[in-house]
Structure 1
Amino acid sequence: MPDDDKTPAREVIADYAQQHFRYFRTADGTVYAQKNGHPVARPIRSQGTTGSHRQELMVGLFRDGLGVFNGTALKEALDLIEALALTEDVQPVHIRVAPGFDGATWLDLGRDDGRSVRIHSTGWDIAVPDPREVCWRRTQLTGELPLPAKDTDGKGIDLLLRLCNFAGAQTECLAIAWLIGCLEPSVPVPAPFLTGPQGAGKSTGGRMLVRIIEGMTGDLRRAPKDEENLIAAVAAGWVTALDNLSHLAPDLSDLMCCIVTGAETIKRALYTDGDVVRARYRRPLLLTGIDVGVIRPDLAERLLPLRLERPQVRRTEAELWAEFEEVLPVILGSLLDLTVKVRAADADIPTDLRMADFAHLCAQLDAATGLGALTAYRAALDDLNDDVIEGDLLAQTVLKHAAGLEAGVQQRMTSTEWLHCLTGLYSGEECRPLPKGWPTTGKVLSDRLKRLQPTLAARGVLVDWGRTSTARYIEMTRPRATPPQQGHEQPSAF
């Protein structure tokens, strides 16, 4: 064939690509390629080790007998495809868990054949999702899950609890509630903090919880030293598990709050001056450690303490994980069965807790099983409030001052006057030195009290801010106790 009659290589590649792949863009402008009939999507510019679209395009062209093309032709064809895809409808991509049609939820099993679990109002089944309903994104952190077992009659939950060393039924029901929350993409869940004495199996228990969702390749990792690396790790997987924490710096504490309830980061795109890259994230987070020191109040509201105890009989790692891998299909099947029951249960939404979605999930779990998860969650938050107060001398001083207030009487002072009052109360007649971190100005005191406001309210001390015609003030009140009403349950003390 004369050279003039040959179809340019870039056109051959572009025609083949449009016949065998579906191209679309996400809200941030990234273009993805999805093989026809398959739910896994890959960014067309990716060079990732999990397989890039460029690689699967080259393999397809070669296996279908169209030849091997040079890099220039591939680049020109992909440039054209990317430009055409920017006019297509926007569709999101998901890692591990995704919302589907008609209120269903999908769980990616990480399999090459694309089979996933569809959780709906009447049960769950295994199927390959319609590519226009769910687009999965895979990374190196996307492990493969076994096919969950059917008709387990709840045996998997018992097997899991037997393998873990949870201290009591309250801890067990909270762990189950968290696992159910991990299967719901629209519900922010608090971060379990596995704690207990040395040798209690905190890391092993954490790995088990993670591997139920992420497969046997899921694991714990050390906390990255900077925010950028932690966000990259969070964005590449579903459950982020940080092991053996001994200290929570303020920056790391704030970042954990953002991971649990959701946030967005923006940074400059590589090799550009004006373009930016947006990264939105909200992921389940899991922590382990004996003691992390002082916990800040905003993080305490997003934690879920799970206490473990030392096992009486030790087992080898090989024996333990062999049994866990063997029973994982049953555990996953029982968890899916319970998830369906919980979603079908009707329960009121608790309106007094920060993580209201998770509190509602606990209430639904109680309605379905009677485990008492909501009561356990309230008790866990109450214990965390005690931890915050025990680690904050300012909070202790405020409570000591409030103890002398008459119930129902409002005390107003400027922030500077409050600083002088609380400093004098802490120093006492012996004028003991102020601790490191004690507020030095009225503004610093006001900011600290704003952080402590929910913790103090949980202990019956209300702090509020206001302004008169001449100055701003801080108001402190110890409200009168409300007598229980006839025929109603007495309000919880938490």
Structure 2
Amino acid sequence: MSEDEKTPAREIITDYAQAHFRYFRTADGTVYAQKNGHPVARPIRSQGTTGSHRQELMVGLFKDGIGVFNGTAMKEALDLIEALALTEEVQPVHIRVAPGFDGATWLDLGRADGQSVRIHPTGWDIRTPDPQEVCWRRTQLTGELPLPVKDTGGKGIDLLMRLCNFATAETECLAIAWLIGCLAPSVPVPAPFLTGPQGAGKSTGGRMLVRIIEGMTGDLRRAPKDEENLITAVAAGWVTALDNLSHMTPELSDAMCCIVTGAENVKRALFTDGDVFRIGYRRPLLLTGIDVGVIRPDLAERLLPLRLERPRVRRTEAELWSDFAEVLPVILGSLLDLTVQVRAAEADIPTDLRMADFAHLCAQLDAATGLGALAAYRASLDDLNDDVIEGDLLAQTVLKHAAGIEPGTEQRMTSAEWLHALTGLYSGEECRPLPKGWPTTGKVLSDRLKRLQPTLAARGVLIDWGRTNASRYIEIARPAATPQPHEQAAAF
């Protein structure tokens, strides 16, 4: 055969690839390759040292006896495949959990055979998802989960609670609610903050909660030094767990708020002048630490404090994790059983809480089990409000001033007038020096009050902004006390 009659290597590779793989693109334009009949997809431009599509294509060509091709032919073939895939329909890829058809959700077990858990309204089962329904995206942070055990009778939850050192039953039910929330791809869940005295097993308890969702390779990590590295780590996995926090900068606090409720980051694509790529993320977050100092109000609404106590009997690490690995299939099975029950339960949606989806999940958990998760969640938010107020001298001063306002009345002043009044109230007759960070202008005061507005409202102090013909004003009011039901009955 003459050289002219030979099929070019790039065409051989392209024909083989299209026969053995399915190619599609996501909404951000990234092209993925998916082996026929297998739910795991890989970006075709991945240059990872292991598991890249380029490598699996080379291995397939070699094992099927087609040949070994040089890098130029492979690059030309992948360029053509990528261009063709950009005309295909858009399909999302998911890490660990994903929505499915007919109200079902999926949990990726991280197995090489692609077996996953399908959670549907009538139960759950283990199967390989249809690639048209679910495409899994795996990274080095995607660990393998064991096959869950069916019909556990709920004993897996009891086994988990025996291994953890949660201080109260209320803390236990909040931890269960968070785990159930992690299995729902569309439910934002607050970030558990495992706290307690030194030696309470906060890091160990955090690892256990994470490994129920991420497998035995899941672990805690130190908080990155900047927001960009944090977002990169968050986008590569499902549950992000930060260990031993002792201080929280405003930038880290804002980033955590975005992680919990969802946001998107846009960056310039490498080696381009104007192209960008998007990183969308909303992930379950877990924190551990003894004390992080002052908590900002917006983050406090997104936290779930879980207090631990020191264990009476210590165990070795090897013994503890050996026991945990042994009972993990039962724990996961019990969690899946409970998830099905909770999703089937009917409950009203609490409309007065910031994390309404999680509050509704707590109400459903109560309806299914009677644990009292919603009341425990409300109590935890009250405790966090106290923490915010105790760490903010401005909030304390506003509450002190509001104590002198008659219930059912309000006071209106400009921001500059409020600054003068609150500064004088804090300094007092002895004219004590103002603390670092005290507002220096009316605009700064107004911005600080906007952050504190939900916290102060929980303590019966309402703040509002308005405008007259002359100027803008800030209004601080105390609503009239509403009579209790027994008081209303006594009035008739």
**Is TM > 0.5 for Structure 1 vs Structure 2?**
yes
C-alpha contact (below 8 Å) 1:50/1:140 kept by paired residues:
no
Equivalence for 2:29:
29
Question: CA, structure 1 residues 64+487, in 2 after alignment: closer, same or farther (shift >3 Å)?
Answer: farther
**Letter in structure 2 aligned against 1:223:** A
Tell me, yes or no, if the aligned pair for 1:342 and 1:361 is still in contact at 8 Å. Answer: yes
* Residue 291 (str. 1) matches residue 270 (str. 2): no
Answering whether residue 59 of structure 2 is matched by residue 59 of structure 1, we say: yes
Q: Return the alpha-carbon distance in structure 2 between the equivalents of residues 488 and 130 of structure 1.
A: 60
Q: Which amino acid aligns with 1:108?
A: D
Output aligned runs, 1:118-267, within 5 Å: 118-267=118-267
TM-score for both structures, normalised by structure 2: 0.99
CA distance in structure 1 between the aligned counterparts of 2:488 and 2:352, rounded to whole angstroms = 18
Structure 1 residue 487 displacement after superposition: 12
Q: What's 2:370 paired with?
A: 370
Q: 1:4: how far off?
A: 1.7
One-letter identity of the residue aligned with 1:446: S
Equivalent residue, structure 1, for 2:274: 274
Aligned to 2:41: 41
Query: How far is the alpha carbon of 1:483 from its aligned partner?
Result: 1.3
Residue pairs, 1:77-92, within 5 angstroms? 77-92=77-92
1:309 corresponds in structure 2 to: 309
DSSP 3-state at the match of 2:412: strand
SS in 2 for 1:103: coil
C-alpha displacement of 1:227: 1.0
Residue aligned with 1:139, SS: coil
Q: CA deviation at 1:488?
A: 11
Task: Tell me the residue number matched to 2:443.
Answer: 443
How far is 1:406 from its partner?
Answer: 0.3
- Alpha-carbon distance, 1:379 to partner: 0.1
The 1-side partners of 2:48 and 2:443 are apart by: 49
Helix, strand or coil for the counterpart of 1:24? strand
| Alignment check: 8 A CA contact 1:191 1:260 kept | yes
Distance 2:408 2:120 in 1: 50
2:17 partner amino acid: A
Counterparts in 2 of 1:139 and 1:487: CA distance versus 1, 3 Å: farther
CA distance in 2 between counterparts of 1:162 and 1:147 reads 22
Does structure 2 conserve the Cα–Cα contact (< 8 Å) formed by 1:49 and 1:140?
Answer: no
Q: CA deviation at 1:47?
A: 1.2
**Aligned AA (1:189):** V
**Residue equivalent to 2:381:** 381
Distance change (3 Å), C-alpha of 1:207 and 1:488: farther
Number of the residue aligned with 1:480: 480
- When residues 488 and 351 of structure 1 are mapped into structure 2, their CA distance, relative to the original with a 3 A threshold, is farther
Give the 3-state SS of the residue equivalent to 2:102 in structure 1: helix
Q: What is the CA–CA distance in structure 2 between the aligned matches of 1:319 and 1:481, rounded to whole Å?
A: 56
Alignment deviations for residues 378-415 of structure 1 (CA, whole Å, 9 cap, x no partner): 00000000000000000000000001110011100000
Normalised by the length of structure 1, the TM-score is 0.98
Equivalent pairs counted in the alignment come to 489
**Which residue of the partner structure matches residue 453 of structure 2?**
453
Secondary structure of the equivalent of 1:233?
helix
In 1, distance between residues paired with 2:271 and 2:195? 44
Does the Cα contact within 8 Å between 1:50 and 1:138 map onto a contact in 2? no
Cα deviation, 1:217-269, whole Å, max 9, x if unaligned, reads 00000000011111110000000000000000000000000000000000100
Aligned position for 1:99:
99
CA contact (8 A) 1:304 1:380 kept: yes
C-alpha distance in 1 between matches for 2:232 and 2:188 = 19
Q: Are residues 49 and 366 of structure 1, via their aligned partners in 2, closer, same or farther at CA, if it must alter by over 3 Å? A: farther
Q: Provide the rounded CA distance (Å) in 2 between the counterparts of 1:456 and 1:50.
A: 53
**Aligned counterparts of 1:368 and 1:392: Cα–Cα separation in 2:** 39
* Superposed displacement of residue 49, structure 1: 3.3
Helix, strand or coil: the match of 2:425?
A: helix
Cα shift at 1:2: 1.9
Where 1:89 maps in the other structure, the secondary structure is coil
CA distance in 2, matches of 1:192, 1:450: 25
- TM-align CA RMSD: 1.1
1:492 is matched with which residue? none
Question: What is the CA–CA distance in structure 1 between the aligned matches of 2:486 and 2:7, rounded to whole Å?
Answer: 87
Please list the CA deviations of residues 1-20 of structure 1 after superposition, one character each: whole Å capped at 9, or x if unmatched: 22222111000000000000
Whole-Å separation in 2 of the counterparts to 1:263 and 1:474: 31
CA deviation after TM superposition for structure 1 residue 355, in Å: 0.2
Letter in 2 for 1:154: G
Amino acid at match of 1:225: K
Aligned residue for 2:252, secondary structure, equals helix
Distance apart, 1:485 and its partner CA? 4.0
Residues in 1 aligned to 2:156 and 2:232: alpha-carbon distance in whole angstroms: 33
> Which secondary structure state, in structure 1, belongs to the residue aligned with residue 482 of structure 2?
coil
Contact (CA 8 Å) 1:50, 1:139: kept in 2 or not?
A: no
Could you give the per-residue CA deviations for residues 425-457 of structure 1, whole angstroms, max 9, x where no partner exists?
000011111111000000000000000000000
Q: CA deviation at 1:110?
A: 0.1
Q: How far apart are the structure 2 equivalents of 1:358 and 1:294?
A: 24
1:134-189 superposed Cα distances (whole Å, 9 cap, x missing partner): 00000000000000001100000000000000011000000000000000000000
> Within 2, Cα distance between the matches of 1:488 and 1:183?
44
CA offset digits 1:36-58 (Å, max 9, x no partner): 00000000000123410000000
Q: Which amino acid aligns with 1:187?
A: V
Matching residue's letter, 1:240: T
Contact persistence 1:24–1:89 (CA under 8 A): yes
Distance in 1 separating the partners of 2:319 and 2:410: 63
Deviation at 1:342, TM superposition (A): 0.2
Deviation at 1:484, TM superposition (A): 2.9
Q: How far is 1:481 from its partner?
A: 1.1
The aligned amino acid for 2:169 is: A
Deviation at 1:28, TM superposition (A): 0.2
Q: Gapped runs of 5+ residues in structure 1? A: 490-494
- Does residue 398 of the first structure (1) align with residue 398 of the second (2)? yes
Residue type matched to 1:158 in 2?
D
Q: State the match for 1:414 in structure 2.
A: 414
